[in-house]
Structure 1
Amino acid sequence: MRLLILGCLFWSFAAMSQTCLVDFDAATQEEEFLDNGDGTATDLSLGLMWMRCSLGQTWQNETCEGDASELSWQQALQAAHGYQYADKLGWRVPNIKELASLTERKCVRPAINELFFPNTPSDDFWTSTPSVMDHERAWVVAFFNSSNSIKDKKLFVFTRLVRNLD
């Protein structure tokens, strides 16, 4: 039986589609999010508004289209400064706690609720949280498996923006 399960998981990974455990409570409940109808979703429990797409993608036909941009940490922070989306300002790179709140621990490739955040790359995303121990590094959240780590700020990583509610 274990071999069958491992085989199924391997096949799922090879197909590069999201795999979720059935008998595992979801970390992000669908009731926690409100679809704003403009390419954003509001996390009602945290009072945050998220861009549904990664930077570089566009919200069209109820999904994220195109390729997400990979930016250095400084480029991500600069891109967020003054960014206007959905007729709103105040977008920023989320801190590690905020970004980690989007992870869906019961799923991998990507480890996120695809209903609200479709076509999310299964890779690292920048947070605004710098490393305390090494000023050349900052925290990332991996939407491959919902882990986090620190990366060199000069590496090119994906970014999703957030803003506080008005």
Structure 2
Amino acid sequence: MKVFILICCFWCFSAISQTCLVDFDETAQAQEFLDNGDGTVTDQILGLTWMRCSLGQTWESETCTGDASELTWQQALQTAHGYKYADKLGWRVPNVKELSSLTERKCVRPAINEIFFPNTPSDDFWSSTPSVIDPQRSWVVAFFNSSNSIKEKNLFVFTRLVRNVD
């Protein structure tokens, strides 16, 4: 019975942990990011500073704690407006290309570099990019598997903020 419980616990743990392919090159390479020591990282290639945690989470003891908030697209945009974090203003919801740059395509659940973005929900995140064919929808990036799609703006989705480097 103890062996069965141990196997079940291992299976449950492995089912929720990140899985990465070893034969693929990293797409979100560690050397691209600079840890700013304040809960943010800078993508040195794109010149963007990212919050390490999703909105709703707290940067604490080198990790993201708490539950990420799910917001509608409008709520995400409104929350970003005037948001102050790490003593900086200018935070915004990233466009779909910027947000996609964080995806680690060799990994799933989540498809992101967990060293720099720990405890990221393996789910959709809002971009600021609206759909050109349907004004009721906007683009999201799925950190489950690195895919992009459009979702209705009134759905509740996770958000990570970005700002341009000064």
**Would you call these one fold, judging by a TM-score over 0.5?**
yes
Instruction: Summarize deviations over 1:39-91 as a string: whole Å, max 9, x none.
Output: 00000000000000000000000000000000000000000000000000000
Partner AA of 1:60 in structure 2:
E
Which residue in 2 is equivalent to 1:4? Answer: none
Deviation (angstroms), 1:137: 0.1
Q: Which runs of 5+ in 2 are unaligned?
A: 1-10
The equivalent residue for 2:6 is none
Q: Find runs of 4+ consecutive structure 1 residues off by over 2 angstroms.
A: 11-15
| Aligned length, in residue pairs | 156
CA distance in 2, matches of 1:13, 1:44: 34
SS in 1 for 2:37: coil
Q: CA deviation at 1:15?
A: 2.3
Distance 1:13 1:32 in 2: 30
Q: 1:99-110 residue pairs with structure 2 within 5 A?
A: 99-110=99-110
Amino acid at match of 1:74: Q
Structure 1 residues 114 and 79: alpha-carbon distance in aligned structure 2, compared to 1, 3 A threshold: same
Which amino acid in 1 is paired with 2:148? N
Identity rate of aligned residues, in percent? 81
Give the 5 Å matches for 1:82-161.
Answer: 82-161=82-161
2:29 maps to 29
Instruction: Indicate if the aligned counterparts of 1:13 and 1:109 stay in contact, CA closer than 8 A.
Output: no
| SS across alignment from 2:148 | strand
CA distance in 1, matches of 2:105, 2:12: 17
Residues 13-22 or 108-117, more deviating: 13-22
Contact 1:12 1:19 in 2 (8 A): no
Instruction: Give the distance between the partners of 1:36 and 1:152, measured in 2 at CA.
Output: 34
Q: How does the TM-score come out when normalised to structure 1?
A: 0.92
Match of 1:58 in 2: 58
Question: For residue 3 of structure 1, what is the aligned residue in structure 2?
Answer: none
Amino acid at match of 2:130: P
- 1:68-79 aligned at under 5 Å gives the runs 68-79=68-79
Alpha-carbon shift at residue 14 of structure 1 (Å):
5.9
SS of the counterpart of 1:163? strand
Q: Displacement, 1:13?
A: 8.4
| Paired letter, 1:89 | L
TM-score, normalised to structure 2, is: 0.92
User: How big is the shift at 1:12?
Assistant: 7.6
In 1, Cα distance between the equivalents of 2:133 and 2:89?
32
